[in-house]
Amino acid sequence: MYGNWLKTSILMAGIVALFGVVGGAIGGQQGMLIALLFGGGMNLWAYWFSDTAVLKMYRARPVDAASSPYLYNIVRDLSQRAGLPMPRVYLIDEDQPNAFATGRDPAHAAVAATSGILRLLSERELRGVMAHELAHVRHRDILTSTIAATVAGAISALAQFGMLFGGRGNNRPHPAAQILIVILAPMAAMLIQMAISRTREFEADRGGAEISGDPGALADALLKIETRAKGIPLHTAEEHPATAQMMIMNPLTGGSLRNLFSTHPATAERVARLRAMSPGAMPRRT
């Protein structure tokens, strides 16, 4: 548990330090402030309204105990076990098995599952998946990802600023160094942002296993989802790849650099960590 949190803290410190280095080299203090304010404003809006926007994007429909008792009752029971307020529950009419959580805090959270995941998984496995999503809510991972996205966006803005204006006065780097900064800084920021996302997925796996009390259920579910999801596209995710990090399984296709640039850890590693957790090590949190 503490190892994942420490890694996240180190990565967050790293991306902020990168922002300072790039900002000092290209934009100076004024450029840094402009980029940070611009990125912060964009992501503050996303943080506050992301739940409404992404649910509408995926055409998710709200369900309750009457319209979808199976899913709703699973989420209600797990929320009580986790000590969380009951989130809003949504169903997405897509064949690809997947699920996600959104919302700025536990009091404004929502969880969504595709119809494909309901058909694919057993009740035990679905409980493992929804417990994972509730762990994201409990850990306030939307806030973490928003901060990382804000700083990464500011770094990209500074790099573009350097390309257009060539730096400021005494802060102007050597032309060759400037070209490297403009090209490499946004890539480095993205890599750190992806690493933060992968670390939070590991922690949500651990937290979900704690909530459900059944690490093997999530492990079994992940294996099933990976096998089935590979052959079923999720067109909304392909059109809006920034939403991929929200899913329990990366819904996007990838190439040879998939692991480096992926928002999710390798499924085999996630499963191995879950298998290593004994049920007795998963105490119920009150």
173 token code pair? 């780097």
Structure-model confidence comparison of residues 52 and 126, the more confident one? 126
213: nearest Cα among 268, 108, 135: 135
Catalytically annotated residue among 94, 123, 125, 133: 133
Q: In the 8-state DSSP scheme, what is residue 246? A: G
Contact 187, 252 (CB under 8 A): no
Q: Please state, rounded to an integer, the average pLDDT across all residues of the chain.
A: 80
Please name the residues in contact with 90: beta carbons below 8 A apart, sequence gap of 6 or more: 55, 60, 61, 62, 63, 110, 111, 112, 113
Rounded to an integer, the average pLDDT of 46-50 is: 65
Predicted confidence (pLDDT) at residue 210 exceeds the cutoff of 90: yes
Helix extents (H) in 140-245: 141-165, 175-212, 215-229, 235-239
Predicted confidence (pLDDT) at residue 179 exceeds the cutoff of 80: no
132 token code pair? 């994972």
Contact 80, 172 (CB under 8 A): no
What confidence score (pLDDT) does residue 186 get?
Answer: 73
| Known catalytic residue at 133 | yes
This prediction's pTM: 0.75
> Kind of pairing, strands 110-114 and 88-92?
parallel
Between the alpha carbon of residue 155 and those of residues 50, 162, 241, the distances in Å are 22, 11, 20
What confidence score (pLDDT) does residue 285 get?
Answer: 46
Rounded to an integer, the average pLDDT of 169-191 is: 66
In angstroms, rounded to a whole number, what is the distance separating the alpha carbons of residues 147 and 35? 14
The phi and psi torsions of 222 (rounded to 5 degrees) equal: -60, -40
Predicted confidence (pLDDT) at residue 72 exceeds the cutoff of 80: yes
Q: Which residues of 224-249 are buried (b: 16+ CB within 10 A; e: fewer)?
A: bbbebbeeeebebbeeeeebbbbbbb
Predicted confidence (pLDDT) at residue 4 exceeds the cutoff of 60: no
